[in-house]
Every structure is written in C-alpha cells, then in structure tokens.
Amino acid sequence: MTVGIVGAGQLGRMLALAGYPLGLDFLCLDPAADAPAGQVAPLLNGAFTDRALLRELARRCEVVTFDWENVPVESLRAMQRSPHAARIAPPAAALACGQDRVTEKQLFERLGIPTTRWRAVDSHTDLVAALAAVGLPGVLKTRRLGYDGKGQAVVRTRAEAERALVRLGAAPLLYEEWVPFDCEVSVIGARGARGQLAIYPLCGNVHGAGILRITCAPFGRRRWQALAGRYLERVLAHFRYRGILTIEFFVRGDRLIANEMAPRVHNSGHWTIEGAATSQFENHLRAILGLPLGSTRALGHSAMINLIGRIPPRRQLLALPGLHLHDYGKRPRPGRKVGHVTIVEHSAARRDARARRLAAKLAAGARIP
Ligand code: AMP
C-alpha cells in the first residue's frame, strides 16, 4: 500500500520512517532534489503545481497526504478530479482554512473557541481602524505563508505599526492583540475514518524568535487538557477530519486562547516518537488509511529540543544517556530546523532539570515552560 506525500520535508521523512514497520510504501513530491523525505523514500522531483507529477502521485498512491501547510490547495483538488480520483487526507478544506489567518480566526469564533481579538488589514485606513478596535501592543501578521515567526511584527506604538505596515503591507495582513501569556501549549489528536478520536497529552511549548525551541509533555493542568481536547474535537468534527490535527494556544490563567491550527503532524508532537505508545506519525497514517488508531498514552515525561542551524557533534550528543537524536539530513543554515533530540524521564521534575541543562548545552536559547 503506497502513501503519497505532497512535500518531502522532515515531517514527511518521519511519516515514512513510522510507516515502514507497518509495511507501507511512500512516494513524495517536492521541488527540492535533496529534500529530507526524498532521502528515505522515492521522490517525484518537481513543482507542487506540476500537473503530470500530481497525476502520477494520484495514480500510484492509495491515499495522498501532505507535510506542509502551504501546499497549493488547487494541487490537491486537481488530484481529486484526476482520472485516478486520489483520496486526500486530511481534507483539502481544512488545509485551505488554515492557510489564511482570517478564515482560521473565523472558524475558531464560529466553533466557540476563544481566540485573540483581531482585524483584517489591507490598507492604512484598515490599520488605523484595527488599532482603534484592538489596541496596543499588538502583532501585525501576513494572512498567508507565515511560519516560524516569519511575516510578523510586534508593535508597541502607532509609529511602529505604520513602519510594520510598510514592511509587510505588500500582502494582506491581520492585526491582533498581543497576549501576555503565562505559557504556550498545543493539543495534537487524530480522527479516524469512523470518527474515532485519539488525543495526546498536552504539550508545553517554548518559542524563541518565533521558532519552536522546546516541547515538554505531558504538560499543564488537567483543566487545560480537557478544554484543549474539547476545542480540538470541534474542529475535527467540523471538517469530518481524517488524520492528525494540531491547535496551538496561549494560556492565561485557566483560559486557552487559540493562536493557530495546523492540519498535519506537528513539531510539538515529535516527542511522541519515543514518549508515547503510538507516535503522531503512526497515528496519522493509521487514520488516513482507515486503520484502528493507537494509544496516545505517555510512556514517561518527555522533552524535545529542536536543533536549529546545525547538528552539534554526533559523538557529543550520543554520549548523553537516553538521548534520542533525529537528524533530518538537511544542510546547515542559520535559523533552520535541522533535527531534534528527545529525552524521556520518570518524573516531570527530572525531565525539566535535564531539559534545562540540555537546552543550555545545545544553546537552544529558551527557558523550560
Ligand atoms: P505564530 O506564527 O502565529 O504561531 O507565532 C509564533 C510565535 O510568536 C507564537 O508561538 C508566540 O510565541 C508568538 N506570538 C505570535 N502571536 C502572538 C500574540 N498575539 N501574542 C503573543 N505572542 C505571540
């Protein structure tokens, strides 16, 4: 059985590595000849919009998924319309919704999921109105194609907001309130073919310069887990979803405020490879193939630290007891996620202490949540 993956990044690579023990085959599509998943699975090398390659993917695969949230939705729809009528999972509608911060906010509001106060900004007049409605400080973000903190600016004054508009304003924008959060969390869960659910323990996330640095799981209060699970279920049901979905939240007191969703496996779920009974990658595959979902039970207290820019010397990393290294096979570049490490401990206190030391050693540049 062959699973197609549009996008052959590290998420696609980890999907393939999780699928081989289940007897699955993979076929990826990516414009980069040296893409991480292309190093472990056959690769169709070309543009995401290449109709001939999309047809080939549809023809050769039982189901087609994606590992990047900016895959052109039209490419997925073209595969559905092709003579081979590809089965796409998760649904293209969820991808389309998540690609635009405005439709994403509207969905949260419609489903009764608290989110930040926001306004769409397409002009200077809109900006003035948004500042009046939402107030300062705030964040101006591009509606589309933002990731890892790219395409956004924190603004504290009207003058800063106007400068940010000049810098970002070539694209449609969204202005939202700055949330002085206590911490950030994400909830990750799968919905199967018959609507069955498998939701992971909550992840506590630390970002630095907009990039995820550290995730600890299980994390946080029971009430947060219950709330996050309820919100996730609403989005999954809304789309009659199949596969893994992630929602990221800001936490203030006992309130969860949705920041964004990702219709795919997520960086904050990498700990599940060693730290949960079934990894997010395996559960994604099970869900999209109509197989029974696996347990999401935590096997201990995990911390995942992203390796950004370059992989530290392997000998040094592997000398650390119980450390699991994942090297994505990417060329080093400042600010680029090139790998991650995970530790699983018997207690949260030990995990946090060890993660703190490890993060300092790896210069992950962030505090434990
Ligand atoms: P995003 O690309 O929207 O996920 O933003 C990346 C990170 O920037 C978030 O995880 C937060 O750490 C920070 N951030 C983004 N928007 C806000 C906001 N409105 N208030 C506070 N922090 C924010």
Q: What is the pLDDT of residues 109-163, one digit of tens each?
A: 999 999 999 999 999 999 999 999 999 999 999 999 876 667 899 999 999 999 9
Residue 353: closest CA among 345, 342, 362: 345
| Ligand 1 neighbourhood includes 139 CB (under 6 angstroms) | yes
Half-sphere exposure of residue 220, counting CA atoms within 13 Å on the CB side? 31
103 Cα: distance to centroid of ligand 1 (angstroms) = 17
* pLDDT tens per residue, range 29-60: 999 999 999 999 999 999 999 999 999 999 99
Token output for 5: 């993956």
Per-residue pLDDT at 252 exceeds 70 = yes
Q: Which atom of ligand 1 is nearest to the CA of 148?
A: 2
Convert the pLDDT of each residue in 154-190 to its tens digit. 999 999 999 999 999 779 999 999 999 999 999 999 9
pLDDT of residue 301: 98
Q: What is the DSSP string of 71-95?
A: S-HHHHHHHHHSTT---BSS-HHHH
Pocket test for ligand 1, best of 70, 104, 139 (most atoms within 8 A of CB): 139
Instruction: State CA 4 to chain mean position distance.
Output: 19
Q: What tens digit of pLDDT does each residue of 202-235 get?
A: 999 999 988 999 999 999 999 999 999 999 999 9
Residues 6+ away with beta carbon under 8 Å from 330: 10, 36, 336, 337, 338, 339
Question: Which atom, in ligand 1's list, is nearest to the CA of 141?
Answer: 3
* Cis status of the peptide bond prior to 90, with omega within 30 of 0: yes
Q: Is 140 in the pocket of ligand 1 (CB under 6 A)?
A: no
**What pLDDT, on the 0 to 100 scale, is given for residue 110?**
98
Which residue owns the Cα nearest ligand 1 atom 7?
A: 210
How much distance in Å is there from the Cα of 24 to the middle of ligand 1?
37
149 ligand 1 Cβ < 6 A: yes
**Interval between CA 271 and ligand 1 midpoint (Å):** 21
% of the chain exceeding 90 in pLDDT = 92
The response to whether residue 210 sits with its C-beta less than 6 Å from ligand 1 reads yes
> Is-contact 5 37, C-beta < 8 A?
yes
Name the residue type at position 93. Answer: A
Is the pTM value of this prediction over 0.85?
yes
Q: Encode 239-273: b = buried (16+ Cβ within 10 Å), e = exposed.
A: bebbbbbbbbbbbeeeebbbbbbbbbbbbbbbbbb
- 3-state class (DSSP) for residue 119: strand
Residue 208 beta carbon below 6 angstroms from any ligand 1 atom:
no
CA of 138 to the centre of ligand 1 (A): 10
For ligand 1, atom 17, the nearest C-alpha belongs to 178
User: How far, in Å, from the CA of 182 to the mean position of ligand 1?
Assistant: 13
**Roughly how many angstroms between the first and final C-alpha of the chain, as a whole number?**
41
| Mean pLDDT score of the chain | 95
- At residue 283, φ and ψ (nearest 5 deg) are -65, -30
The answer to whether the beta carbons of residues 249 and 184 sit under 8 Å apart is yes
- Taking CA atoms only, the protein residue closest to ligand 1 atom 14 is 210
